[in-house]
Chain A
Amino acid sequence: DAGVIQSPRHEVTEMGQEVTLRCKPISGHNSLFWYRQTMMRGLELLIYFNNNVPIDDSGMPEDRFSAKMPNASFSTLKIQPSEPRDSAVYFCASSLWKTGAGELFFGEGSRLTVL
């Protein structure tokens, strides 16, 4: 399997622009997670899905952030409008959840810089 695939790997944009990050989980995995990593706050969970359904979005910082998972093989994280404080590395991860948590498989991350 190709692993978790994220795009773009790097994104530089100007404040106020819309940013869309994409993720393709590992085939067969039924859980998908979006994390954000910054120097100040480390890794934080933004939102996660089970079987394409959002389960917990309490980590989404503001209404400017939204995430969707239209099918089992694709998810997006959108920021609109973007702000400089959104600059971070955004990781997508997937796992196979059965009766308990499964091992997490991470993508390479999308490094976002908002000027």
Chain B
Amino acid sequence: KNEVEQSPQNLTAQEGEFITINCSYSVGISALHWLQQHPGGGIVSLFMLSSGKKKHGRLIATINIQEKHSSLHITASHPRDSAVYICAAPNSGGYQKVTFGTGTKLQVIP
């Protein structure tokens, strides 16, 4: 089983701040998922990445396979970014059984 750790667990930011959420995993993987969950809401896939960097709007995800580490960045944060961000890593490279991190609860204050 892949051990997945996220930090920080909770994060409060002022609107406009640059935000970084970190994810470390123990087993080498082929791809890592970043998910977003709004309070009481469903889960949305933000990124699935296997190398380098991906960007979507104000969101940027990076991964370093050698260091077994990924980061999710939010530029120019906005209150609507307030949500729980979850990373998930497969238990073995290429497989579909993922282990989820405990999530980072982000609150962006106007």
A interface bracket (residues with beta carbon within 8 Å of B): 20 to 34
For chain B, residues 75 to 101, give those with C-beta under 8 angstroms from any C-beta of chain A.
86, 88, 90, 94-98, 100
Q: How many A-B residue pairs have CB under 8 A?
A: 55
A28: min CB distance to chain B, Å: 16
Check: B19 CB closer than 8 A to any chain A CB: no
Type the 1/0 row for A72-115, where 1 means its CB is closer than 8 Å to any CB of B: 00000000000000000001010101011111111111000000
Cross-interface CB contact of A99 among B90, B94, B103, cutoff 8 Å? B94
| A42: B residues at CB distance < 8 A | 100, 102-103
Please give me the residue from chain A that is nearest to B94 by CB atom. Answer: A100
In the docked arrangement, what's the CA distance between A104 and B102, Å? 18
| A31: B residues at CB distance < 8 A | 96
| B48: A residues at CB distance < 8 A | 101-104
Asked whether, in the complex, the Cβ of B33 is within 8 Å of the Cβ of A103, the reply is yes
In the docked arrangement, what's the CA distance between A19 and B57, Å? 41
For chain A, residues 43 to 88, give those with C-beta under 8 angstroms from any C-beta of chain B.
43-45, 48, 50, 55-56
Asked whether, in the complex, the Cβ of A91 is within 8 Å of the Cβ of B43, the reply is yes
Interface residues of A: mostly helix, strand, loop or mixed?
strand
Cross-interface CB contact of B100 among A43, A50, A97, A99, cutoff 8 Å? A43
| A91: B residues at CB distance < 8 A | 42-43
In the docked arrangement, what's the CA distance between A102 and B31, Å? 9
B interface bracket (residues with beta carbon within 8 Å of A): 20 to 34
Check: B45 CB closer than 8 A to any chain A CB: yes
In the docked arrangement, what's the CA distance between A109 and B48, Å? 21
Asked whether, in the complex, the Cβ of A45 is within 8 Å of the Cβ of B94, the reply is no
Asked whether, in the complex, the Cβ of B45 is within 8 Å of the Cβ of A45, the reply is no
A26: min CB distance to chain B, Å: 12
Please give me the residue from chain A that is nearest to B99 by CB atom. Answer: A45
| A48: B residues at CB distance < 8 A | 96-97
Which A residues contact B (CB, under 8 angstroms)? 31, 33, 42-45, 48, 50, 55-56, 91, 93, 95, 97, 99-109
